Structure 1
């Protein structure tokens, strides 16, 4: 087993009297893709922000790699910079590696384009290239496909899966989409009231087909952990 890139023990984060993260333990290995599910307000984004260094813990141990990057739901591109400059922002002499990153996401021909001319999927690919060009040891994905249409979302999921296999960062994906988590993750956690109530390794062969009975069974278990039950289970 690879050394852990993320090591959390008894992690606490409180807002007033409310424990948003409550004695949370979690390890994510280098090269491992961990997807985190949970209802709104369960602490998912708070955990991601702590790992990104955008928030602070109130207690416990937080060990993360020095080099970590975040892809948010919105691409957050700089409107006044062209695409290549957005990828390499803050990187001196990053032009060559920036072009390599754009080639990986299929946008080398858009290097001199302005962000306003990009589609939603193209803009998010630029954001992904900007994250990966820094060769992070930890890649944090905060619902990065939520604003995309269904077809673009599937294409972006495939792209992220492929690039993560190549670059091998530890990955934390925060998502509300159970199918997305199953398609992409090596492990899936369910967060409820600040605690991990599920931490399951996914053994389904790739590529993963939602029509596969094993996929459907896993989906049902995870939905139940999220408090969502099928009509058959709730009908009288």
Structure 2
């Protein structure tokens, strides 16, 4: 259940949403996507919005380009799908069947399907969770490039603290349907776990999620 929630995302801003299972993250995303209706309050979202889920949700009976162009007029669909697939590095897979794709390739097709609609709001529901570590890193780099190029407002729902710090301009922590904490990312250059500021923010977020004790709590307990 969401209670008293107020979230604004600017055009071109990348916001990551962290929180324990059941805190309301998915409810918020589905409400913004128009898949669920809010019981009260105001939901102001652009008409041009798209969602990428954890599962790629490709239609196995349609070729890749048709999956990307779903809902578009056939006359222009193939051309737009080809351009979107080129952006995600899958030009050669235009006529492939989904069953022939790897997990990472399938998620890139799902990303192309979202971007072909030129959304002003891009909603990402743990889209990298099922990928192996190396593929996830590549997808992070691709998403950063595409967001910088297209400049949609982005909301990423994730359980991965490192992923949130790596990708986002701002990280929100949700607890019991409310935003319990907010952090703006001010890290310079490449974001690396070897960076002291990265590690400090990681520990703060893990503490707010209840994974680590709050800073100073251990010292107080020992004293």
Which residues in structure 2 correspond to 1:29-108 (within 5 Å)?
A: 29-92=10-73, 93-108=76-91
Cα deviation, 1:47-93, whole Å, max 9, x if unaligned, reads: 00000000011111110001100000000000011011111111012
Distance 1:106 1:221 in 2: 36
Distance 1:50 1:205 in 2: 33
Structure 2 residue aligned with 1:147? 130
Distance 2:106 2:161 in 1: 24
Unaligned 5+ segments in structure 2 are none
- Superposition RMSD on alpha carbons, in Å? 1.5
Which residues in structure 2 correspond to 1:63-212 (within 5 Å)?
A: 63-92=44-73, 93-212=76-195
- After TM superposition, the score normalised by the length of structure 2 is 0.94
Distance 1:90 1:206 in 2: 39
Q: Which moved more, 1:84-93 or 1:214-223?
A: 84-93
Moved over 6 A (4+): none
Give the SS at the match of 1:62: coil
Structure 2 residue aligned with 1:10? none
May I ask how many residue pairs the two structures share in their alignment? 217
Give the SS at the match of 1:21: coil
Structure 2 residue aligned with 1:13? none
Give the SS at the match of 1:26: coil
More strand by share: 1
Distance 2:40 2:194 in 1: 43
